[in-house]
Structure 1
Amino acid sequence: MASKRPFTEEDFTCPVCCDIFSNPVLLRCGHSVCRDCIQQYWTIKGSRECPLCRKRSTKNPLVNLALKNLSLAFLNYRDPLEDLCEVHRERLSLFCLHDDEFMCVVCRESHQHRNHACSPISEIAEERKVGLLFRSELDLLTRKMKILEHAKFECSHQAETPSKRTFKHLHQLLYDEEKAMLAALRKEKNQKTQLMKSKMEKINEELFSLPKTIKELRGKLDSGDVQFLQNMNQETETVRGGLIDTAQYLGNLKFTVWSKIREAISYTPVVLDPNTANSQLILSEDLTCVRDQDEQEEEDIVGVQLPDNPERFDRCPCVLGSVGYSSGIHIWDVDVGDSTFWILGVTTESAKRKGTNSLPSEVWCIGYDSNTLSLKAPRESCTSLIWCEKPKQVRVKLDLDEGQISFSDPRYTEKFFPFFFSLCSVSPLRILPVVKLSN
């Protein structure tokens, strides 16, 4: 009879793959799982939790060295005896499909397993491996489909919500402008009405005194020519200012409204492309701001995967603008504020975006890290600008016609003057005249 073993196979069985531990890791809750199993489980599940107790765990759990060594020892201890039937001491070569257990050829003829369906262990193992592989592939495809559906919904929602908000804002601007213009029109209408009312009252008063006025006019007709003309200028005064200034409200109405709306709306020359953004970056709703996610955000969005489309940077925390340029001069300002680590510039459309944590090789950029401002160009090492202070804003000027790119501080307004230094008394520094070339 076989001697009693100090451990059973269950003590060294992974709760995910149900096999002996292979490179086990220790979770925060105290349970152990194979490293490959837990990574695959987290990918399918979408959250870093223990498969047994559902408690959250750290991103990179440590290897359980003690359990790893014990598992290897158990495998070495088990191999010489595991393939033998503990009852008949015969090799285990069959699997009872009815009782779901291993058996030898003697067990098959015993009363316990007689007339039970059985198959060779190798066939059952192969069938179950294929089934497990199929389920894993199916789970992976299902997971990818959910990721794509979620990404599709998020893209649609992220595009629809700001669009609705923007048009709602424009509608409100138009409504406010219409309301203000109608209010001004009503105000002027009331003023003109009141003016006309006053004039009419004055006219009525003059009508009552008309006989007297006629009598006075007859007297003036008998006066001298000069005095007569002076009196006529006073009497022929007409009612002025009684009409509404229609041109003020209808003239260039569309242009006037458009000008006022333009004053209330800002324009950003560069808009970020979320389809190129690395998954650890957080973009603002209007696609004009980008930053790295913090630890809490990293915990919150674990399992929320973005589609691995060809345009996206999968490792390097980069994002591109939505529009590429092939000619002309293009200028945009970037507010870097108090950011402690940033890089900005331009790169080519063919820049490598997969499989590397490094910057694309074809990049012209300025960056700030470890209190150092640096410049970088393709096939050149970084140039430290140790004499430059950290800017709050950076202006990027891309001149594709001249093949130049420049970085400057748009808030720097101090004047520059030509500068000369000489300690040579033999040959002077001479400023040359401009040479005019003939056609």
Structure 2
Amino acid sequence: MSAASSLLSEDQFLCSICLDVFTDPVTTPCGHNFCKNCITQHWSNRAHRECPNCKKRFKRRPVLQVNTFISEMVSRFKELAQQRASSSSEQQAAKPGEVPCDVCTGTKLKALKSCLVCLVSYCETHLEPHLTVSGLKRHQLIDPVENLEGRMCMKHDKLLELFCKDDQTCVCMLCTISDHKQHEVVPLKVECEGRKAELEEAEAELQQMIQKRQLKIEVFKHSVKVSRENADREIAEGVQVLTSLRDDIKRMQSEAIKVIQSKHTLIEKQAEGFIKELEQEITELKKKSAELEQLSLSEDHLHLLQNLPSLKAAPPTKDWSEVRVRAPSYEGIFRAASAPLVEMLIIDLKKLLPKTELRTAQQFAVDVTLDPDTAHPELILSGDGKQVHHADVRKNIPDNPERFSIILCVVGKQVISTGRFYFEVQVKGKTQWVIGVTNESINRKGRLSIDAQNGYWTLGLRNENEYWAATRRLYSKSQPEKVGVFVDYEEGLVLFYDVDAANLIHSFTDCCFTERLLPFFCPSSNQHGKNSTPLIICPVNRTT
């Protein structure tokens, strides 16, 4: 009964007049069911008594009695509906992207299975018959999927359960005797097993791609960490320099102010002395003036004549016409005080800036190795591809297109086509050498014209202390033992550093790179042993 009752649907118990579940269901003589009140009112408003469904007329109004069987079924259905509503409240409604139950009439619950025979998806409640009814238990259930109709052959309306290898498409049984009669056809399961192997290979490849990207993430994180460390160190050094500079400025400011104040104090004291003398003279002169005024008012003629000569004479005073208080010049005191500081600052900046630039360049260090297929036959390369020197013996090796045939040169394996690139070469003990970068397409079979216009950006030593940047002679006091080569492809820069001194030796700017670049090395002739020391590509130890 439970299995049968679960097949009941709401449509079976709806009155066709009120379109709601039956209330006091009655049956007409023609066999149709209605709510008792609905059919009674329907006939009360009409002259003829006829069935609303089949339009059959009745001569007399039928006597209607409640159909107890239908009434019980309706009651049972309402109980089941309440149970389903209670169960549905516990079950999960289908969310966007999930497969909904095809049977649910209200809220569409999430489907648990799809039937390949019924082509219907069922929630937990509506799946029950497929789990209990013997005939339905034989149906093939799968995890819920949408568009079950797509699993049917559009031509034969049969289940797609085979795979045609010739046309690489899914087919039904009838297709194998029509359109795909001569084709190789296998069950879907067999084809899936083979495809799963391909999926495993694809999955393995994806995992490798994931690992590579995870490693790249670690590289980026390491770059950020290195950048943070460099930034912190640079900030600390800069703060230390500027703090010291600030203290020196305050000290020199104080000294300059003290010099100015002492000069002013001296003038102030001198002026105060002069003013005091003048005030004393003014007092004496005022006193003499008062006495003369008093004498001029006297009526005693004898007294006036006797005292006039002594009072008439002016008191002794100083001749102030040439006396000056000359204000000293204060100009240049601050300039003179700050001159040593400016000179010291310039020296510190000259030391600090190249070191900072070199440290930045070293962050783009690349592990460069020599390419033996390009080396001149008289050049000897070390097994690790890090050293090269000239020998007098010419090796019997293939003269491939990449090999230098006349000039004693070799290029690196690493290609520069974008971004920044840095490597270091030890030149200690050599009397001649050339290093730098060059265009990949240079002529390797003839004489070389080493110039930027011909695709060479190089630094070299000729005749011991004579340094050249390509074809331009340099007047440099630097005698590097280790040279750093830095390339910024996008900015068009090639810079050469004295690594130990952290000085910039030479820079090629505004270069227009139009093709790939390669590291370039020329150890030059060994000069009968005088220049036998090899050029050595060194690991980069960042400047501190």
TM-score by length of 1: 0.30
TM-score by length of 2: 0.25
